[in-house]
Amino acid sequence: MNTQQIIDEQSIEQLISSHVTENPEAVRAILKKALSLKGLSTEEVATLLPIQSNELLDQLLQTAKQVKEMIYGNRIVMFAPLYISNLCGNDCAYCAFRATNQAIKRRALTQAEIAQEVRQLIDQGHKRVLLVAGESYPQSGFQYVLDAIATVYNTKTDRGSIRRLNVNIAPLDREDFHRLKQANIGTYQLFQETYHRETYSKVHLGGKKREYDWRLTAIDRAMLSGIDDVGVGVLFGLADWRFEILALLQHTEYLNAKYGVGPHTISVPRLEPALGSNIATSPPHPVSDMDFAKIIAILRLAVPYTGIILSTRESPETRRAALALGISQISAGSRTNPGGYSSENDQELAGQFALGDHRSLDEVIYDIASMGYLPSFCTACYRLGRTGHDFMDLAKPGEIKHFCSPNALATFEEYLIDFAAPKTREVGEQLIQQELEKMSTKAHTLAAELLEQVKAGKRDVFV
């Protein structure tokens, strides 16, 4: 495959060099167009990159907020990462799991240990988990991941189970992607880390991950193997963020053109300190908080129906501000080291990177509910096959909200009854009533029926 068809670095550099100063008239026209929810071209995105004036910056952020509310309302999907192994054969300069880092203890959880981690997550209230592993596996090879997926789904407590497992693991060949599909995963997530080829070669010093093209074409192999729900992302700070956002959108446009559907999610992590990594502590292209806000806002306008994920790398303050700009999914109560949920000691320094938000799931839910955002644990679309083309067919005409809003309320009510602290439940119940009052008659009827079922003791109800 000619990867020049996916990422055209020359055209990206030309776009950046030809858009170095603000063009207020063009910016306002693009922001007006963005409200039609049709997305933006890379040319239009390049026009937004040099925004500096407070007036235009405020207009950009406000437009992103409008678009986010028009599509997602105030829903915020909750999840947690589950790290099962830090074994890795790659030497990535920014990562604590890098093969040459002697400062961390290597560990691949047994299936019994994975089950114990899952029980901890269930008892926090989580329903959706992202499985993460270093890019090497124990002797059983890729079967280890498949066994771990089965363990997650088969682990249950009297407080529930994990209903949907997404996966962030090394690129696979077609055969193994097919096996992954058969394991009933939700989203396959893979970050290119940096789309800038020269930078990529400088920070990936050894292992299979050095092969830029193999990684870039992994999403193709996944989709050709039947996985129609994929997530992409960039580790901002490795290269110029303007280049990265344009390349990310080129990748998205390519997937849309070739497969008729782009990524379901885009993740926007920034480099954070990692044990044994100098580059993670001193990023070569640091991204300021203001530029980070621009990144989120521009992505929301460019790909309006794509979920944007923010992890606990960021501080509570940054995460609060980002919710209004287009973020639709956040992790909470996270640990980034294998066994981190079961360990009595906080082993954050042994994690993949340093956390910025150390709050528990309940503390995060109390905070965002107090701000008027609706925490959602819904997994219905995955389980009913509303993914890929089917999801977009409902999302683009605005029909998906008729499912999402009632389901979000039902899953939130579950959390409030089964897991929430008293003050969280009080704030949450008030929020649910406010949401019901805003709904259309049809959605209100559906939501009220689901809520009554939950209050009567039924669980996992959805439309």
β partners of residue 336:
none
How far from each other are the two terminal CA atoms of the chain, in whole angstroms?
A: 41
Q: Identify the pLDDT of residue 349.
A: 42
* Whether the Cβ atoms of residue 300 and residue 64 lie closer than 8 Å to each other: yes
Whole-angstrom distance, CA of residue 335 vs CA of residue 332: 9
Whole-angstrom distance, CA of residue 258 vs CA of residue 235: 25
| CB neighbour burial string for 339-367, b if at least 16 within 10 angstroms, e if fewer | bbbbeeeebbebbbbbbbbebebbbbbbb
pLDDT of the chain, 463 residues: tens digit per residue: 778 889 999 999 999 999 999 999 999 999 999 999 999 999 999 999 999 999 999 999 999 999 999 988 899 999 999 999 999 999 999 999 999 999 999 999 999 999 999 999 999 999 999 999 999 998 889 999 999 999 999 999 999 999 999 999 999 999 999 999 999 999 999 999 999 999 999 999 999 999 999 999 999 999 999 999 999 999 999 999 999 999 999 999 999 999 999 999 999 999 999 988 999 999 999 999 999 999 999 999 999 999 999 999 999 999 999 999 999 999 999 999 999 999 755 444 468 888 999 999 999 999 999 999 999 999 877 666 666 666 666 566 655 566 788 999 999 999 999 999 999 999 999 999 999 999 989 889 999 999 999 999 999 998 8
User: 128-133 and 156-157: which strand pairing?
Assistant: unpaired
Whole-angstrom distance, CA of residue 179 vs CA of residue 174: 9
| Domains of the chain, residue spans | 70-358, 385-455
Whole-angstrom distance, CA of residue 332 vs CA of residue 450: 25
Q: Identify the pLDDT of residue 346.
A: 46
Q: Identify the pLDDT of residue 199.
A: 98
β partners of residue 79:
331
Sign of CA dihedral 402, 407, 409, 410: positive
* Whether the Cβ atoms of residue 57 and residue 390 lie closer than 8 Å to each other: no
Q: Identify the pLDDT of residue 193.
A: 98
* Whether the Cβ atoms of residue 172 and residue 142 lie closer than 8 Å to each other: yes
**10 token code pair:** 């020359």
* Non-local CB neighbours of 189 within 8 Å, separated by 6+ positions: 130, 166, 167, 168, 230, 231, 232, 233, 265, 267
Q: Is 325 helix (H, G, I), strand (E, B) or coil?
A: coil
Which superfamily does CATH assign the domain made up of 70-358 to?
A: Aldolase class I (3.20.20.70)
Q: Identify the pLDDT of residue 352.
A: 87
